[in-house]
Structure 1
Amino acid sequence: MNPSHSHPLRIGVFDSGFGGLTVLRALLRELPQAEFLYFGDTARLPYGAKSRETIARYAVSAAEFLVRQGAEYLVIACNTASALALDDLRAALDIPVLGVVETGANAAQAHSHSGDVLVIATAATVESHAYATACAERNLRAVEKACPLLVPLVEEGWIDHPVTREVLSIYFTELMHQSKAAALAPDTLLLGCTHYPLLREPIEQAIPAQIRVIDSAEVTAAQVAAAVHAPQAGTPAAPRFFATDSPAKFQRLGSRFLGQPIEHVELIDLEALEAL
């Protein structure tokens, strides 16, 4: 993608909530001259308990809103939407769309020597088998593990907490047993949830040293930067943030994910959004 216009490239980032802010955090480092629009569908999360059709409808409506705000490239920083709605989004939009599942699988393919990959994600993402499918398409074998307690622990702020470390120990003991039963020799661990980069340090301490962690936020940002490699002119504006519920909570919790204060969040009316 080589935009010819003079203004900074506008990149939309979509998630059902706050986790995608880890992707935005990495994007800000990779593309400091781009302008970013972040949409968190906080009124309708979690997406994992909803049907594929409902998830696709929500994701498309949010994405179309970002396009109306000027987005010229869209990052789906939501594993559930990437797993279940990516085809719908690409069919509905006239701009490039990139999802975190494919970026994670691409990175695993590039870094794994054994061809055996571990994936930790939410229950909805694991049940979709999106990562296993994406890995298989790249001639990788994958074992997926649902880790439903990690998201609430992150949102509680228990990043470096004995309870979190114990939960990780239990999950990874089970995952290594699954891997052994499948006769895998894993050398790569994919973080299949955008909350999990905040737990990278305790995760790395909980797994064997020979297993490399693939941070979905970092690899997504790197692949976006590679796709929009043309230098951008001008001075970008500060990121704009949109949420469908609780702007104050978004500011408070989102600042933890972004690693910097969020000064303002624009509340989007759901009825108006769905009517457009």
Structure 2
Amino acid sequence: MIGVFDSGFGGLTIFHELRKALPAYDFVYLGDNARAPYGSRPFETIYRYTLEAVKALFRMGCPLVILACNTASARALRTIQQKDLPQIAPENRVLGIIRPTAEEADSFSRTGHLGILGTAGTVVSGSYPLEIHRFFPQLTVTQQACPLWATLVENGEVNSEGTRYFVKRDIDRLLAQDPKIDAMLLACTHYPLLYPVIREVAPPEVRIISQGEIVAKKTVDYLNRHPEIEKRLTRGGKVDFFTTDTPEFFSKGANFFGEHNVFAKNLSF
């Protein structure tokens, strides 16, 4: 199976596109809802939580795990790939969502000025500017931490006046840093649910980019280039959901994220 992990519900926006792109494959989605959000947690905590989830997905039979969480991708992926994977499962693979997004960054902006909207953990890590400049050093990349956005989404407050205030405030702060920005990347998987508010308060000429379709396209490409992993994946269109919170809580939240009639199983690390 293909394992998909997120700190909570946000990874469902990636998961949805992966299933559309790879409908014949079996998937497991794991949300660490009991400990979400990860964005403001210290590096060691994010790394430990993410490694626990990766190991759990490996035990379930997932030779490929996708960290559908920008914070986990920014703060834990490289350590897991370089330090842990050779020891615990050298034949398996763990992928993130920052690099595949960065590989497409030159298509986002006409002016060459790109804005990044992310959690505090993602922004502090500097992962997006680093990865983007590896491929496209000519781009100007400006970041803005949006510490409340994910929490507002998790609490179902996407349409409140408070949400509109904080979204506008953070976008204004981003554009104040660089008025030439003409594209903004939603570098948190929760943020697509705020798209209507973001589109309303952002200048109409600024493009808003979500990651789901990009990550799905890049995953298909990865499997085409790595038949040794692809041939280990089962096909049957089966999907299992796991959560570290209660199944009832997950089902309610998943419905809000567009995954209906979900019956999750509880998982304790």
TM-score (norm 1): 0.84
> What is the SS of the residue equivalent to 2:65?
strand
> What is the SS of the residue equivalent to 1:50?
coil
From 199, 204, 222, the counterpart of 2:199:
204
- Amino acid aligned to 1:217: G
Q: CA deviation at 1:89?
A: 2.3
> Is the aligned partner of 1:47 residue 2:38?
yes
- Amino acid aligned to 2:34: A
> Is the aligned partner of 1:103 residue 2:100?
yes
Tell me the residue number matched to 1:175. Answer: 174
Q: CA deviation at 1:77?
A: 0.7
Against the structure 1 CA distance between its residues 54 and 157, is the aligned structure 2 distance closer, same or farther, given a 3 Å change threshold? closer
Tell me the residue number matched to 2:154. Answer: 155
> What is the SS of the residue equivalent to 2:76?
helix
Maintained 8 Å contact 2:25/2:234: no
- Amino acid aligned to 1:165: R
Against the structure 1 CA distance between its residues 249 and 234, is the aligned structure 2 distance closer, same or farther, given a 3 Å change threshold? closer
Q: CA deviation at 1:234?
A: 8.0
From 20, 33, 38, the counterpart of 1:29:
20
* Of 159-168 and 101-110, the range deviating more from structure 2: 159-168
> What is the SS of the residue equivalent to 2:184?
strand
Looking at structure 1, the residues matched to 74 and 109 of structure 2 have their Cα atoms a distance apart, in angstroms, of: 22
Against the structure 1 CA distance between its residues 235 and 123, is the aligned structure 2 distance closer, same or farther, given a 3 Å change threshold? closer
Maintained 8 Å contact 1:188/1:213: yes
From 86, 108, 112, the counterpart of 2:109:
112
- Amino acid aligned to 2:23: P
Maintained 8 Å contact 2:26/2:234: no
* Of 168-177 and 192-201, the range deviating more from structure 2: 168-177
Deviations 1:129-157 (A, max 9, x none): 22122222231221111112222322232
Looking at structure 1, the residues matched to 262 and 112 of structure 2 have their Cα atoms a distance apart, in angstroms, of: 44
Looking at structure 1, the residues matched to 235 and 93 of structure 2 have their Cα atoms a distance apart, in angstroms, of: 23
Maintained 8 Å contact 2:8/2:32: yes
Tell me the residue number matched to 2:50. Answer: 59
Tell me the residue number matched to 1:3. Answer: none
Maintained 8 Å contact 1:104/1:190: no
* Of 212-221 and 231-240, the range deviating more from structure 2: 231-240
TM-score (norm 2): 0.86
Deviations 1:113-171 (A, max 9, x none): 33221011112211222212222223122111111222232223233444433332222
Tell me, which stretches of 5 or more residues in structure 1 are unaligned? Answer: 1-9, 271-276
Looking at structure 2, the residues matched to 262 and 269 of structure 1 have their Cα atoms a distance apart, in angstroms, of: 22
* Of 259-268 and 245-254, the range deviating more from structure 2: 259-268
Looking at structure 2, the residues matched to 240 and 254 of structure 1 have their Cα atoms a distance apart, in angstroms, of: 13
From 165, 176, 181, the counterpart of 1:186:
181
Tell me the residue number matched to 2:81. Answer: 90
Deviations 1:188-236 (A, max 9, x none): 2110110011122322232223322220222112211222248999862
Q: Give % identity.
A: 36
Tell me, which stretches of 5 or more residues in structure 2 are unaligned? Answer: none
> What is the SS of the residue equivalent to 2:34?
coil
Against the structure 1 CA distance between its residues 234 and 47, is the aligned structure 2 distance closer, same or farther, given a 3 Å change threshold? closer
CA RMSD in angstroms, aligned pairs only: 2.3
Maintained 8 Å contact 1:135/1:141: no
- Amino acid aligned to 1:14: F
Looking at structure 1, the residues matched to 160 and 268 of structure 2 have their Cα atoms a distance apart, in angstroms, of: 37
From 9, 22, 29, the counterpart of 1:38:
29
Maintained 8 Å contact 1:13/1:38: yes
